[in-house]
Copies of this chain bind each other. A is one copy, B any other.
Amino acid sequence: MRASILTIGDELLIGQVIDTNSAWLADSLSELGFEVTKILSISDSSQAIAEAVKELMGQSDLVISTGGLGPTSDDRTKPTLCELFGGQLMLHAPSLSLIEQIFHKRGLPLTETNKNQALIPSSCTPILNYHGTAPGMIFRKGNCFLISLPGVPFEMKNMFTEGVRPFIEQNFTLPAIVRLNVNTFGIPESFLSDKLKDFEKFLADRSIALAYLPSPSGIRLRLTATGDNKGRLSNLLDMAVNELKGLVGENIFGFNDETLPSVVSKKLRGKNETLAVAESCTGGYISHLITQLPGSSDIYKGGIVAYSNEIKQNVLGVSHDLLISHGAVSQPVVEAMLDGTLRVFQSDYAIAVSGIAGPTGATAGKPVGTTWIGVASRETRRVELYAFGNLREVNIQRAAYTALYQLLKLMDKD
């Protein structure tokens, strides 16, 4: 079954707002077993809406549209669909009652404009909106359904879950789909794809789709199996994951939504151990990645952003001689930062990073991107040199994720 998503709104076409509804809907529809073939964004114009609806309905079994249902004159979706599918605008009493409740709760008077939101085309089946004022609408033409929802993300998501999903499950016969992400780090995309050449044939023979999703936080391999029996598909994916482990097991750090910060945190929590961080060029980003996860105070003792040599000396106890003879971006200084961090924070593990994020700061023999990353437990430490690129933002991200990956490897050996 093919589905399309249509997002309507001038704010999207001038780049004022990032369209997050489409990804959420695409994920939800894919999980239900649809093949989403198009995501289209258009402006609040009757002509553009009518053309897009006709085109997408001609190519799909289901079209979900969001947006253009507000009470103001620049919202054109409802009158355009009414004209397109025929019928007249009629008062939908249950929707009016929900609108009245919302205004009553907020202590606001109900205007004529608000009441008009309960008018819907007689040619549609309404979907109640318990979280806002615009009802949803289901239209049918031939074998294709069009479902129109408001653009406000939390209204749209709640209406999809409460009203659209049950409707779809009743009205469509969909294949079974099982998805799995295998998350890797420390291997460039081209090397990974070289290593997986035979594996891709293995997948193709079993009709499993593979996608590479690279970012500074690693490369996510997405496996999608489609068929008619979820149990059988899950077994197929288990086999595929075992194959993958044999090929690039070293680089696999997690599955599905797991990230390096979440996996490191979980592992620390499991061992009832703690981490502290000394950051120079990453400037607090490693600490931020850890502390943005709920409950991080269990495993994270704290961090120092040691941007100046004085702080490396005064707080972390890195010796002045070491800083002068080797420079702040050097193996001995990172080793001393590790020692200082373990001592000051009394943590079980430490991370220390010193590098040149750029664009300034390069010296002879140490170009922008030069970065020393160290990790340590109370017994052992591992310090490595990396040559990242020229972009400050990317260097900060790569250094941070590399440090977490290096820590994970150290913990695995402990």
Chain A residues in the interface with B (C-beta under 8 A): 10-20, 22-30, 36-43, 48, 70-74, 102, 105-108, 111, 113-114, 131, 152, 154, 179, 188-191, 193-194, 200, 209-214, 220, 222, 224, 277, 279, 282-288, 290-292, 294-297, 300-308, 310-311, 314-315, 344-346, 358-361, 369, 387, 389-394, 396
The residue in chain B whose Cβ has the minimal distance to the Cβ of A209 is B10
Please indicate which of the listed interface residues A23, A71, A286, A393 has the most CB atoms of chain B within 10 Å of its own CB: A23
Known: A11-B213, A292-B283. A304 touches B302 (CB 8 A): yes
Beyond A18-B18, A37-B42, list 16 extra A-B contacts (CB 8 Å).
Answer: A15-B25, A16-B27, A16-B213, A39-B41, A74-B211, A106-B188, A107-B387, A131-B391, A154-B391, A283-B288, A284-B286, A285-B292, A294-B358, A302-B308, A304-B315, A310-B346
Give, as a whole number of angstroms, the nearest-CB distance from A256 to chain B.
Answer: 11
Question: From A75, which residue of chain B is reached at the shortest CB distance?
Answer: B212
Report the minimal beta-carbon distance from A250 to chain B, rounded to whole angstroms.
17
* Known contacts A222-B16, A344-B314; is-contact A105 B287 (Cβ 8 Å): no
Contact of A292 among B14, B39, B209, B393 (CB under 8 A): B393
30 A–B contact pairs at CB < 8 A? A12-B23, A12-B26, A13-B26, A13-B36, A14-B27, A15-B26, A15-B36, A16-B222, A18-B18, A18-B20, A18-B23, A19-B19, A19-B22, A37-B42, A39-B40, A74-B210, A105-B369, A111-B190, A111-B194, A113-B190, A114-B190, A131-B389, A283-B287, A284-B286, A287-B287, A288-B288, A297-B307, A300-B307, A303-B304, A311-B344
Closest A-B pairs by Cβ, 4 of them: A283-B291, A284-B287, A15-B27, A15-B26
Tell me the nearest residue of chain B to A301, going by C-beta.
B308
Number of copies of this chain in the oligomer? 2
Cβ contacts under 8 Å, A29 to chain B: 15
Determine the distance from Cα of A12 to Cα of B282 in the docked complex, in whole angstroms.
30
Bound form: Cα–Cα A304–B29 in Å = 42
Q: How far is the CA of A285 from the CA of B40 in the complex (A)?
A: 34
Q: Is the CB of A17 within 8 A of B74?
A: no
**Closest Cβ of chain B: how far from A147's Cβ, in Å?**
17
Q: Which residue of B lies closest to A27 (CB)?
A: B15
Most chain B CB within a 10 A radius of its CB, from A107, A214, A305, A369: A305
**Please, which residue of chain B has its CB at the minimum distance from the CB of A303?**
B305
Q: Which residues of B contact A295 (CB under 8 A)?
A: 360
**What are the residues of chain B within 8 A of A152 when measuring CB–CB?**
214
Tell me the smallest distance from the CB of A128 to a CB of chain B, in Å. Answer: 14
The answer to whether A39 touches B12 (Cβ under 8 A) is yes
A100: shortest Cβ distance to chain B, in Å? 13
Q: Which of B72, B189, B285, B391 contacts A189 (CB 8 A)?
A: B72
Distance from A282 Cβ to chain B, minimum over Cβ atoms (Å)? 8
Once the chains are docked, how many angstroms separate the CA of A23 from the CA of B306?
A: 36
Chain B contacts of A315 at CB under 8 A?
A: 304, 315, 344
A183 to nearest B CB, angstroms?
12
Q: In whole angstroms, how far apart are the Cα atoms of A62 and B17 in the complex? A: 21
Pairwise interchain contact B294-A288, C-beta atoms closer than 8 A:
no
Closest CB in chain B relative to A135 CB, distance in Å = 16
Contact of A41 among B22, B28, B305, B314 (CB under 8 A): B22
